[in-house]
Homo-oligomer: A and B are copies of this chain.
């Protein structure tokens, strides 16, 4: 199996108000093995800095980018061969589409915030539901990445980490890497 390249496109971000939820999206993207996240919304140096600081410390080469134009971003990723997957409770069930999704070499996962324009549904290559229930784009993102990589991402090695967890039954232990 060729390793699939995953990038996340976050639709919508408002300064201050969305800070925590977008931060979670960024950290989940990194922890579950995406190469970068592109945020379509307010440019937010605070988020970029805090996430990239974590990435520096915990390893890997995750990047945070901003765009003022999600349509243009989507078109550019399409040109580069990315298959775009909009995560929405209204889409087709993940459990039925997982095999098809795993066959794509490059995947762009599109996650919304509150209101997503109709065009996102139309321009994405697929609309996929992680349960048909209202919940959380953060949860949807993690679960789809886990299904795409079939759990292998849970043990992912992050290169050039300055610190690593040493798993413990109780308590916290880290080592300098």
Q: Interface residues, chain A, CB within 8 Å of chain B?
A: 20-21, 24, 27-28, 30-32, 54, 58, 88-95, 118, 121-122, 126-127, 129-136, 138-143, 146-147, 151, 153-156, 158, 164-165, 167-174
Counted per complex, copies of this chain come to: 2
Contact A31 B154 (CB under 8 A): no
CB distance from A76 to the nearest CB of B (A): 21
Residues of B within 8 A of A92 (CB): 167-169
Which one of B93, B141, B147 lies within 8 Å of A155 (CB-CB)?
B93
CB distance from A46 to the nearest CB of B (A): 16
Which one of B130, B132, B138 lies within 8 Å of A136 (CB-CB)?
B138
**A140–B153 alpha-carbon span in the complex (Å):** 13
